Amino acid sequence: MKIVEALNLTKSYEMGGETVNAIQDVDFVINSGAFVSFVGPSGSGKSTLLNMIGCLDKPSKGSLKVDGVDISTLNRQQAAKFRGETIGFIFQDFNLIPVLTVAENIEYPLLMVQNWPTNERQQRVKTLMEAVGIGDQANKFPHQLSGGQKQRVAVARALASKAKLILADEPTANLDHDTAFRIIDLMKAMRNEFDTTFIFSTHDTKIMDSAESLFTLEDGKLSQKIQGGQVR
Ligand SMILES: Nc1ncnc2c1ncn2[C@@H]1O[C@H](COP(=O)(O)OP(=O)(O)OP(=O)(O)O)[C@@H](O)[C@H]1O
C-alpha cells in the first residue's frame, strides 16, 4: 500500500521578486512500512519536502497524497486533525516540553490530539518507554537527559498515538556519531515493532546507509534513488 505519493510536486517561494523553486517537479512513491531517507546538502529541499508530507505546508503545483488523502485539499483545521491522527514528528532539536517529565512528554499527544482513557494512556506510555530503552527515566525532566535519551523520548512521543507515518527532519543532527547510529537503529526497530513507516532526512552520508530506500535531493530535484524506493 502507498503511504506517500507525489506527482509533479513543486514548491516555490517568492523572495524579493524572485521565485525560489525549493522542490521542482518531483515524482515518487513510498510504500507503507518503508524505512526511507531523503538525503541532500543544505538547501536542497529536504525540510520543504518533509513539511509538505507532514501537511505543514502546501504544494505550489502537482499533487501529494498521504495515506490516500490529497493534502492540498485540506484546510488548516482538517490538516491539523489529519496530522494528529496519521503523522508523528521527530525534530533535530528534540522539541521536548521542558516542564514535563519524560512520561508526560510521551503522553502529551494522547491528551492533546486523541482522547484516550487514562489507563490505556498510561499503559501506552509505559510500553513505549520500555520499547525505546528509557523505562527507568519516566520521572526525569528533559534537561536531566543526554541528547540520545532526549531523542529516544521524542521517538516514543512520535509513536504514541499510533501514527501510520513518522517524519524525522535531521533527527541525528545534534547527536554524536555513535548515538546517531543508535537512534537510527532504534527508529528501524520501532518501525518493525509498531508497524509504521519512517521517513527521515539527513545530510550525513554515513547515516543514510541505514535507510532501506534512499532518495537524493539536489537543488529541489530528486536525482537518484537506491534500493526499494520508486522514482517514477
Ligand atoms: N519560507 C521560505 N521562504 C523562502 N525560501 C525558502 C523558504 N523555505 C525554504 N526556502 C528555500 O528553499 C530551498 C530549500 O530549503 P530547505 O529548508 O527545504 O532545504 P534543506 O535541504 O532542508 O536544508 P537544511 O539541510 O539546511 O535544513 C532553499 O533555497 C531555501 O532558501
In a structure prediction context, what are the per-residue pLDDT tens digits for the chain, which is 232 residues long? 999 999 999 999 998 899 999 999 999 999 999 999 999 999 999 999 999 999 999 999 999 999 999 999 999 999 999 999 999 999 999 999 999 999 999 999 998 776 788 999 999 999 999 999 999 999 999 999 999 999 999 999 999 999 999 999 999 999 999 999 999 999 999 999 999 999 999 988 878 888 999 999 999 999 866 665 445 4
Tracing cell 503522553 back to the chain, one arrives at 107
The number of the ligand 1 atom at minimal distance from the alpha carbon of 44 is: 21
Question: What contacts 189, CB < 8 A, 6 or more positions away?
Answer: none
Question: What whole-number distance in Å separates Cα of residue 212 and Cα of residue 225?
Answer: 11
Mutate to test the pocket of ligand 1, among 19, 37, 44 (most ligand atoms within 8 A of CB): 44
List residues near ligand 1 (CB under 6 A). 13, 15, 20, 22, 40, 42-48, 203
Write the CA distances from 224 to 28, 215, 218, integer angstroms.
11, 6, 9
Encoded amino acid at 64, one letter:
L
Q: Which of these CATH numbers, 3.40.50.1370, 3.40.50.300, 3.30.390.30, 3.30.565.10, describes 34-58+76-214?
A: 3.40.50.300
C-alpha 197: how far from chain center:
9
Give residue-wise pLDDT tens across range 79-92. 999 999 999 999 99
Kindly report the protein residue whose alpha carbon is nearest to atom 7 of ligand 1: 13
Nearest to 206 by CA among 187, 224, 179: 179
Question: What is the separation, in whole angstroms, between the first and last Cα of the chain?
Answer: 16
| Amino acid letter for position 225 | K
For 32-164, list the strands marked E by DSSP: 35-39, 61-66, 69-70, 87-90
From the list 1, 158, 162, the residue with the least C-alpha distance to 67 is: 1
- For the chain, which residues make up each domain, given as ranges? 34-58+76-214
Going by alpha carbons, the residue nearest to atom 14 of ligand 1 is 45
DSSP class of residue 225 equals: E
Centroid of ligand 1 to alpha carbon of 9 (angstroms): 16
pTM of the model as a whole: 0.93
Ligand 1 atom nearest to 47, measured from its CA:
22
Separation CA 224–CA 226 (nearest Å)? 7
ipTM given for this complex: 0.93
Cα(48) to ligand 1 centroid in Å equals 6
